[in-house]
Chain A
């Protein structure tokens, strides 16, 4: 009686077809569901109704920021405390904030100067974020230097 040996006539072969099918299905699934999402960040605003007790402004420098818009919602003027105008230049506004705060970060998020943003109703939201960015800090390389933590919005100016 003759026995066939593995080494002589049969080779141990894996059947890869079904595995490759599944692998390709997985690959197609991941490729189709893949989405390149931009990194997102947050600005925190604490705004109790009526203003709330809040904490004292240790710097005694309440800053009122008025943002004027044209009919298209574009920013035309930045006015600080009803007296200083910076056109639509955020750099000048940040320079002012740096000057006022001395470039020092507030000890805690609940302390330091408060900025009230008063904007025209139709001002585009990206300009509002531009204002928030200009007053809350500045980026120095990879570091972010905080300037103002307390931000609130004035009541909305409803169009007439």
Chain B
């Protein structure tokens, strides 16, 4: 009697078609949702919520983003400052604007303040920017989920 051996002739092969399909779907999902344009955001800032918050229809002209946390520290790009020490950083931005034939009046100061920051500190920050010639301010908030 001849006994057939198992594994002598057949190679065990996994059918990976379904797995590759699924992995491609996952990659497409994450690629579509990934957002690289979050460089101006700061994880330490928890924005206040507003039911009227809607994304701007058009991008802001010359936005300068100031992140103000609950301890009154201001993050502007990679630099850290306080209200009293922010003027040199803003002057750097002004010289950049000047090199593009623009004035501080053309720029938009985007204030991303922590919800627990003191309102007076935001006022101080606005006042400091006003002293340097900035006029347009944008208070950034988080969309409130109803």
For B32-54 the 0/1 string (1 means CB < 8 A from A) is 01110010010000011111111
Complex Cα gap A158–B117 (Å): 15
The closest CB in chain B to the CB of A159 belongs to B120
From B34, B41, B131, A34 is in contact (CB under 8 Å) with B34
Contact A45–B137 (Cβ < 8 Å): yes
Contact A47–B137 (Cβ < 8 Å): yes
**Smallest CB–CB gap between A20 and chain B, Å?**
7
Number of A residues contacting the other chain (C-beta, 8 Å)? Answer: 52
Contact B135–A47 (Cβ < 8 Å): yes
Q: Which residues of A contact B139 (CB under 8 A)?
A: 42-43, 45, 129, 132
Contact sample, A vs B, 14 pairs, CB 8 Å cutoff: A20-B23, A34-B34, A38-B47, A40-B55, A41-B54, A47-B126, A123-B118, A124-B116, A125-B113, A125-B116, A126-B116, A137-B52, A156-B124, A156-B127
Count of CB-CB pairs between chains A and B under 8 Å? 165
From B34, B126, B146, A153 is in contact (CB under 8 Å) with B126
Contact A120–B27 (Cβ < 8 Å): no
Known contacts A20-B20, A47-B126, A156-B120; is-contact A41 B140 (Cβ 8 Å): yes
**Smallest CB–CB gap between B66 and chain A, Å?**
13
Known contacts A48-B130, A49-B131; is-contact A41 B119 (Cβ 8 Å): no
Residues 112-156 of A at the B interface (beta carbon under 8 Å): 119-130, 132-133, 136-139, 144, 153, 155-156
Contact B53–A41 (Cβ < 8 Å): yes
Number of B residues contacting the other chain (C-beta, 8 Å)? Answer: 53
**Smallest CB–CB gap between B62 and chain A, Å?**
14
Contact A48–B123 (Cβ < 8 Å): no
Q: Which residues of A contact B113 (CB under 8 A)?
A: 125
* A interface: dominant SS: mixed
Complex Cα gap A136–B131 (Å): 26
Contact B119–A125 (Cβ < 8 Å): yes
Binding site for B on A (CB under 8 A): 16, 20, 23-24, 26-27, 30-31, 33-35, 37-49, 52, 67, 73, 119-130, 132-133, 136-139, 144, 153, 155-159
The closest CB in chain A to the CB of B113 belongs to A125
Complex Cα gap A137–B38 (Å): 28
Q: Which residues of B contact A124 (CB under 8 A)?
A: 115-119
From B24, B31, B119, A23 is in contact (CB under 8 Å) with B24
